[in-house]
Structure 1
Amino acid sequence: MRNTARRATTLGLTAATVLGPLTGAALAAPDHTPSSLHAPSALVLTVGRGESAATATPLRAVTLTCAPRPFGTHPAPGPACAELRAADGDPDALAAGDAVLCTKEYDPVVVTVDGVWQGRRVSYERTFANDCVRHAHGADVFAF
């Protein structure tokens, strides 16, 4: 009986010695570090037929989230996010494709981009002469 009591006491003291410092860490205040170091990047893109967003006939709207990972209803979120990253989130900085030839017909389409890019507010509107020109600018971003 004495050996059992001695073993139990020894085991209890050993456990307290080993686990004691760990319980202090568990009781410490929780770390409020954000789970993600990415600033939000979520956009809503629309396209409509007309010369301005206020008067255009809506054709389609998609969502595009680029951080923490590309997803959304945009048909190609990965390539579109890569294109926006290369332009630092500025839709005006998207380059026109050199290999694209478009007709000069005037059938205006307007594109809007609203949301947040890496924590900065984005509000963009641009009217293109026709759908071909829209696809030539920001080939992946505006291809929806």
Structure 2
Amino acid sequence: MPTTARWAATLTLTATAVCGPLGTTALAAPDLGPSGLYAPSALVLTMGHGQSAATVTAERAVTLNCAPTASGTHPDAPRACAELRLTDGDFSALSVRAGVMCTKEFDPVVVTVDGVWKGKRVAFERTFANECVKNSYGMTVFTF
């Protein structure tokens, strides 16, 4: 093999080895904003018994961070983040799971969500008839 061909092959292999992984990583990076940073998605979810957030003391609170990776004190952060990505962070778009049966007991539960989703401020409050009904919305977001 001539020397020129060897140098060309060596340079090609070196460029592929060095630049190839960089291109793959850049394509896989989710939710990059215009500055090249992740748009924050960090939420605090609370739950308490009562009829409104104004009159309820939070009994449980969890954190949920969805960017750049799922984390926080939520019991199933990866699945909760995946579920929220499907609704683009719209908590009111979470639907009731099929086949869930709850009693008609009235023991109101209030859930609040505060934080940011993809860099936008989020404030959500919903009162459910009881904890079973709360847990039936979506798959994992309100199950904490």
Same structural fold, with TM-score higher than 0.5 when normalized by the shorter chain: yes
Query: What stretches of structure 1 of length at least 5 have no aligned partner?
Result: 1-32
- Quote how far apart the aligned CAs of 1:112 are: 0.2
**Rounded Cα–Cα distance in structure 1 between residues aligned with 2:131 and 2:82:** 22
Measured against aligned partners, the alpha-carbon deviations of 1:88-143 in whole angstroms (never above 9, x if no partner) come to 10110111101101111110000000000001110000000000000001220001
1:142 alignment partner in structure 2: 142
Q: Structure 2: 5+ residue runs without aligned partners?
A: 1-33
Amino acid at match of 1:62: V
Corresponding residue number in structure 1 for 2:110? 110
Q: Distance in 1 between matches of 2:35 and 2:137?
A: 36
SS at match of 1:127: strand
> What RMSD, in angstroms, separates the aligned Cα atoms of the two structures?
1.2
1:104, 1:80 → 2: CA distance? 26
TM-score (structure 2 length as normaliser): 0.74
Shift >2 Å, 4+ stretches: 33-36
Asked if 1:59 corresponds to 2:59, the answer is yes
The secondary structure found in structure 1 opposite 2:133 is helix
| Residues paired across the two proteins, number | 111
**1:12-62 CA deviation, whole Å, 9 max, x = no partner?**
xxxxxxxxxxxxxxxxxxxxx8563x2110000000000001111321000
Partners of 1:79 and 1:140 in 2: CA distance: 7
Q: Which has the larger radius of gyration?
A: 1
Equivalent position of 1:47 in the other structure:
47
Letter in 2 for 1:120: K
| SS of residue in 2 equivalent to 1:97 | coil
- Relative to its length, the structure with more strand (as a share) is 1
Distance 1:93 1:112 in 2: 15
